Structure 1
Amino acid sequence: MTSTLDRRLHAFRPDLADVTLQGQVEAERFVSGEPAQITVPIAALRPAPDPARGIDTELLIGETVQVFDRANGWAWVKADEDGYVGYLPETHIGPVDAPTHRIIVPRSFLYPEPELRKPHVAVLSMGSRLKIVGKAETRGNHYHVLADGMAVMSSHCQPIAEDLDDYVAAATRFIETPYLWGGRSGTGIDCSGLTQLALMMAGRKFPRDTDMQAKVGTAITREDLRRGDLVFWKGHVGIMEDAETLLHANGHTMTVARENFEAAVKRIGWLYEQPTGYRRIL
């Protein structure tokens, strides 16, 4: 019964499961999720409560989750943005406090006060969500101020209700960002993380992993490719910047890079064969 459910998107264990899965899975107890919010700049989500396990994805400060269990310093959660389930340190979550703004540049700094000469206390990724309570100006520099007095550059923020106009343009801002397996931030990102995060900034909820993403939108042919279309290989995805240019986070350059599409197909083909599909999502 449970074998048909994807553990990445459904919270179930022999001892405990999401109450919404009652009747679909067997578990000793069923519980409702407790709302919580990510409180650290980047929280790694793992398939088990073990820091030695590789990460499945990352959650950004201000994103919300549903918490099903807390034990031994770990929280078992489901992300509200994309439904991904996993474990993260319990210290990385706190009460929900609705954010007002989000970061719109690949990386920005959080300062202890509205003063860029002060040592920064954190690096924030594009997509990070913050609750702004005030504004300040220091030597002509404009800041948004948080409730604890910390500050970010105003020009690096946008009201959370506003979206970027072009998801491909958002993705290009990550050029030369290091490749990181499971990464989903401006400090390190993987192929599907790039696609998801760029689309999120344009107001579009999108699945996390390539096999999930490959089911979204409309199938097209290779000859029909245009800006914004996605190209899939087994375990890989890239964004067409135009009809001839592929934008992707990849293990070849270990960065987010532009590459001639035909050259990329030829280079990738020796190991991963030909593309498995082409999708138009907008």
Structure 2
Amino acid sequence: MRYAICPLSVVPVRSEPSDTAEITTEVLFGEFFKVLERRASWSRIRLAHDGYEGWVSNKQYTEIDKQQYDDLCADKKEVFCAQSVGVCKKEDGTSLPILIGSRLPMYADGCFSIAGEKYSFDGYVACGKKPKSDIAKVARGFLNAPYLWGGRSFFGIDCSGLVQLCYRLCGRKLPRDAKDQAQGGEVLSFIEEAEEGDLAFFDNEEGVIVHVGIVLADHMIIHASGQVRVDRLDQTGIYNSQINKYTHKLRLLKRM
């Protein structure tokens, strides 16, 4: 078994070993994974933080040994970049942009290292479990970010990526996809029971969960649809006042 870590700002994870294959998620700087299969140009990986699998280019990761991987898994004090775009400095003086949600392994006193290479970062960081109300505050920081299928950054993010990332920045773990996120938590019977930070799930005509958003106060919801936006939420679903119609049909509300 091989192990690796992401040394770049963001790396696409694809459904097949090809540059033209669908992007199913992204790996952010500092996230680490197992290499399940390595071919000439591509590797099939499994991300440590959510178990998601897919293909990444061999040019876009750095290998680490099993001890380094185990140490990263054992590090319970997860520290993340907490600003939309930050800049970390390498030992050679060059800069590397990193995105909100990037992992800063073994971070201490403004410094951390990846595969033996030392970095410094003096930007805002997030660490530890935050109150549930903070989830909505973090989500508002993504307002107007464009929608991107498989995206996990301010420059492109999908609905479940937004939810997972906001929860993670507040010290809470969720699966990557909306249908899997919907499997956890406690079902709420009425929308009046929902609090800021709870999740609302939406289905299609076949009853499949296809969308998720974060509940806000006053029957509002923040979600990624075209862009990260705030809309009204009621027992029917999401109502977009700009086009005067419902865009998503409510399936269930959950407290995670």
Is TM more than 0.5 here? yes
Alpha-carbon deviation of 1:144?
4.6
Alpha-carbon deviation of 1:155?
3.5
CA distance in structure 1 between the partners assigned to 2:153 and 2:144 by the alignment: 13
Structure 1, unmatched stretches of 5+, are: 1-32, 136-142
Q: Which of 95, 99, 103 lines up with 2:81 in the alignment?
A: 103
User: Percent same amino acid at aligned positions?
Assistant: 28
Matched, 1:183 2:151: yes
CA distance in structure 1 between the partners assigned to 2:141 and 2:6 by the alignment: 24
Contact 1:56–1:182 (8 Å) recurs in 2: yes
Alpha-carbon deviation of 1:110?
3.1
Name the aligned partner's letter for residue 122 of structure 1: L
Q: TM-score, normalised by structure 2?
A: 0.78
Name the aligned partner's letter for residue 194 of structure 2: L
- Greater alpha carbon shift after TM alignment, 70-79 vs 90-99: 90-99
Alpha-carbon deviation of 1:102?
2.3
Matched, 1:167 2:135: yes
CA distance in structure 1 between the partners assigned to 2:80 and 2:197 by the alignment: 23
Q: Which residue of 2 aligns with 1:249?
A: 224
Q: TM-score, normalised by structure 1?
A: 0.72
Name the aligned partner's letter for residue 246 of structure 1: I
Q: Which of 57, 72, 89 lines up with 2:57 in the alignment?
A: 89
Aligned length, in residue pairs: 232
List aligned pairs for 1:63-142, cutoff 5 A: 63-96=31-64, 98=72, 101-111=79-89, 121-131=95-105
When residues 206 and 103 of structure 1 are mapped into structure 2, their CA distance, relative to the original with a 3 A threshold, is same
When residues 210 and 112 of structure 1 are mapped into structure 2, their CA distance, relative to the original with a 3 A threshold, is same
Contact 1:114–1:151 (8 Å) recurs in 2: no
Aligned alpha-carbon RMSD (Å)? 2.9
SS state of the match for residue 212, structure 1?
helix
CA distance in structure 2 between the partners assigned to 1:148 and 1:34 by the alignment: 19
Q: Which of 19, 28, 36 lines up with 1:60 in the alignment?
A: 28
Contact 1:114–1:145 (8 Å) recurs in 2: no
1:93-137 per-residue CA deviation (whole Å, 9 max, x = no partner) reads: 22345487420122212345799xxxx7432111212347886xx
Name which one, 1 or 2, has greater alpha-carbon Rg. 1
Structure 2, unmatched stretches of 5+, are: 204-209
When residues 186 and 113 of structure 1 are mapped into structure 2, their CA distance, relative to the original with a 3 A threshold, is farther
Q: Which residue of 1 aligns with 2:206?
A: none
Name the one with the larger strand percent.
Answer: 2
Q: Which residue of 2 aligns with 1:27?
A: none
Q: Which has the higher contact order (CA 8 A, sep 6+)?
A: 2
